[in-house]
Amino acid sequence: MFNKLKTLHSLFSDLRESMNPRIDIDMFGNMANAFSKAQDSSMPVSELLESRPAKASLTKKTDWHKADGECDWQLTFSNSLFAEGRIRFFKPSQVKRVLIFFPGTLGTAADLIGAQKDTFGLREYCEKHSIGLGVWDWPLQGERKNGLYKNFNSYSSIEREYSRTLGLLGTSLWREYAAEASFCMKCLGEVIPDTASIEVCGWSQGALFAWFAPFFGLPIRQVTIAGSCALFQDLLEAGKPHIHGYFYYPAFGQRTIDLDDVLMQALQAGVNVSLIHGEEDRGCLSASVSQLQHLIDEKGLNERQFKITRLPGIGHKFPGPIRDAFFQQFSNRSVA
């Protein structure tokens, strides 16, 4: 019994210390150097995704339909490595613009698209402006939490167990999440009118995958990233990989690529990008934001192509100034 209590105390102590760990900066520096040497800025994102294929099998279980008592379109799909998922789409009678929202760890599709008002206010905004809205739950969130272990309630515990196991298959949470996002976006393409203009907004966890959204198979014109901005190189140099979950880190292999390279490839593909940066957000590194600002200046990009909106004093919370900045930018963009 004493040993069990000692182990339990160690777990709680590590959890507390993980919020502000003491790091070996020299060792992290060695990791940063190794990562830098493996970076290949010429590596196309499409090649990266093809060279590291996901292991899950994704299949549609239903076609798009309106469920009983529901006013929105839905499609149910299976994922061989995670729980069954459901894509939801709010479709106004006249759809000229569509927003695909990548939620964070705590957001759920049911909350974001439900008829009841939620703190994000997305459904209310889209109804008011006749904008289509597409969402789904990430594999370990919302209706789909638990996965491998049915009695786990801690998201970080479930993430840890999946990361432990997926490595045996030569994959990662990042790669499997990216593959599912691509699958879901392609499914949404079946119900989105061909003439509609499509934008993606990623919040928190979803912000990481929003960087890669231009390469997920749908012709999108704009990506907005909020609640997360941290280049892999900067995370290693600062000794701060702990500020993001296991999902954040791809299993790259021998060649790596960082988010500034992904950004440039998105811009070259004709996709505009907006970064909304709460300056007190723990998930955003000032070094990364500054590096992207330098990229803007160096490449002579205009704010239509790449815009950084800085919000002093704002932390990690979408409702409020971050949401308001996003709605304002979305409203100001005209449909081509």
Q: Is residue 259 part of a domain?
A: yes
Write the pLDDT tens digit of every residue in 67-126.
766 678 999 999 999 999 999 999 988 889 999 999 998 878 888 887 566 678 899 899
Tell me, what's the pLDDT at 219?
A: 95
Prediction pTM value: 0.91
Q: How many domains does the chain have?
A: 1
- Output the average pLDDT for the chain: 89
Range of the domain at 88: 24-332
pLDDT band at 12 (very low <50, low <70, confident <90, very high): very low
- Cβ pair 322, 276 in contact under 8 A: yes
Q: Is residue 187 part of a domain?
A: yes
Q: Is residue 11 part of a domain?
A: no
Token couple for 312: 């002093």
We report the CATH number of the domain holding residue 328 as: 3.40.50.1820
pLDDT band at 8 (very low <50, low <70, confident <90, very high): very low
Q: Is residue 68 part of a domain?
A: yes
Write the pLDDT tens digit of every residue in 128-163.
999 999 999 999 998 887 778 888 878 888 899 999
* Residue whose tokens read 């919000």: 311
Mean per-residue pLDDT, 39-64? 93
Token couple for 262: 């992904």
Tell me, what's the pLDDT at 4?
A: 47
Write the pLDDT tens digit of every residue in 28-40.
999 999 999 999 8
From the number of C-beta atoms within 10 Å of its C-beta (0-12, 13-18, 19+), residue 92 rates as: middle
**More confident: 18 or 45:** 45
Sequence-separated (6 or more) residues with CB below 8 Å from residue 71:
115
Q: How far apart are CA 19 and CA 155, in angstroms?
A: 16
Q: Is residue 232 part of a domain?
A: yes
Q: Check whether 336 has a pLDDT greater than 80.
A: no
**Partners of residue 102 on adjacent β-strands:** 202
**More confident: 120 or 225:** 225
Q: Is residue 16 part of a domain?
A: no
Q: Is residue 10 part of a domain?
A: no
Token couple for 177: 């999440």
Q: Is residue 19 part of a domain?
A: no
Closest CA to 203 of 108, 129, 114: 108
